[in-house]
Amino acid sequence: MLSLGQSCQVLLGALVFYNIVKGVYNVFFHPLRHYPGPLLWRASPIPKNWHLMMGTYHRKAYDMHQKYHGTVRIGPENLSYVDPDAWKDIIGRPYKTELPKDGRFFGEGTLGDNVISAAPPDHHARMRRLFSPAFSNTALKAQEPLLHKYADQMITKMLDMQKRFGQVNLADIYAFTTFDIMADLIFGQPLMLLERGDYTPWVKAVHLGMKFMLWRAVLTEIPIIGAAISAITAPALKKGAQEHNEYAADLVDRRLAHGSGGKPDVWSFVLKHNDDGKGLTSQEMRDNASMFTLAGSETSATAMTGTTAFILNNPRVQKLLVEEVRKAFPSPADMTMAALKDLPYLDAVIKEGLRVYLAGAGVMPRITPPGGADICGDHIPEGTTVWIDPWVANRLDRFWARPLEFLPERWLNTDNPEFVKDEKSIFRPFWAGPRDCLGKNLAWHELRLVLASLFWHYDVEMTPKDPNWARQRNFLTWDRKPLMVKLSSAR
């Protein structure tokens, strides 16, 4: 009879032998063997998952797509795409032929079982029909005074922090602003982050939860070890998710008790269209409230922070933007939704910011269905995990002129010979197809209003200058660095 030590040695040897055999099969005999990629990545899922967990996958993916043109095999059963056609073949398909999502990356089992981001096609179409009026231009026009209220609070808070500390962390101020806006739109009341000047425990838990959701998703792909770690961490993750959802549910229930009247928040529009039999259930409302608060706050704050950092690292761009904004508006009250849309350089700056510092830069995997699927001219076997790497595509010189530079001019004049060959069809900051971002109109107005307000009121200087500010880790969203600035009144 083997001792415990001998049994462990046998088990370890068997595990090593299995992985060697499996790796040989993956490299030389697997149906995806013809796709290029680094040897270890083709042999095992460990390199990809390691870099996802460390927040460095995006940089490795960029290096691989620079080396291997076309589709890259970044795991034994995983393909990465940057081709413009991949948007319609992977993301933009109609409901009937859409590729199933890998629910681990879309909040399944974490944000609730009824979130629109993870809903099957029939439920997604129903939910989108009911939520769309709340994010329409009509709704946005009605919500405009609320957005201006928080923009004014943001400007006041910036001045207060500048006086108290001699500098301001815009990464935090932007997050306070977007979370307060979304909480007011979803829960009928702000989280008071701008007033208190700090995050609440609930918001801190949201940030940490994104990392845990990613880590759990990738760990489950590692045989035996992944299953064991997932089993150990599952109770704590479930408890945390439950506490998060219960807090959001309580806020939603209190808001729903007031019905569809009152100020024009999300529920005032949803409840008007919540048809009997085809409407949202109470649980669907609760689950989606949590998801909307996270998606609408974190991504907008990230886009604002990244775009501002690139502006401040490019004095020429900052000068042109300041001139446009201050010339256009005699006072902040003139910054209406319609007027802000008419600022071409502001829009170009935002688009360029979204290109170089894409807020949703994390991967969003799809899985090919039984029988496989045709993607970018190839038939991909069933069960293959496929995704688009938009952050990578936005930085490749095969698609963009001077891709690593911050050049808003590329969006101003499509006849400019330097930028005429830019592959703008690959630029999809709000994704594509029937599941594109529902809140993109809101996000656009927030970005225009916040940036215009900042540069109208203040002369802004990054302290210290950091040309490498955007070199950060990514865990579905960016692990943002502080963006420290010095403000002086422009008036």
Residues forming the annotated binding site for heme? 437
Tell me the DSSP string of 68-86. Answer: S-S-EEEETTEEEE--TTH
Phi-psi domain of 188 (left: phi exceeds 0; alpha: psi -120 through 50; beta: other): left
What are the residues facing 477 on neighbouring strands?
475
b or e along 71-104 (b: 16 or more beta carbons within 10 Å of the residue's beta carbon)? bbbbbbbbbbbbbbebbebbbbbeeeebbebbbb
Beta carbons within 8 Å of 235's beta carbon, 6+ residues apart: none
CB 329 within 8 A of CB 353: no
Token pair, residue 331, equals 């006072």
For 67, residues 6+ apart whose C-beta sits below 8 A from its C-beta are none
- 388 backbone dihedrals φ, ψ, rounded to 5°: -100, 140
Q: What is the CA radius of gyration of the chain?
A: 24
Place of tokens 């998710």: 241
For residue 489, give the H/E element and its range.
strand 484-489
d(CA 27, CA 429): 34
| Cβ neighbours around 318 below 10 Å, total | 20
Give me 491's structure tokens.
């008036």
Question: 474: which 2 tokens?
Answer: 């990514």
* Alpha carbon distance 486, 167 (integer Å): 5
Which residue ranges make up the annotated binding site? 437
CA–CA gap between residue 333 and residue 144 (Å, rounded): 11
Query: Three-state DSSP class for 60?
Result: helix
Please name the amino acid found at residue 324: E
193, 298 Cβ separation under 8 angstroms? no
Neighbour tally for 443: CB within 10 Å? 24
Pairing of strands 385-388, 78-81: parallel
Query: Greatest CA span in the chain, whole angstroms?
Result: 88
Report the C-alpha gap between 184 and 436 in whole angstroms.
23
**Tokens encoding 94:** 């109609």
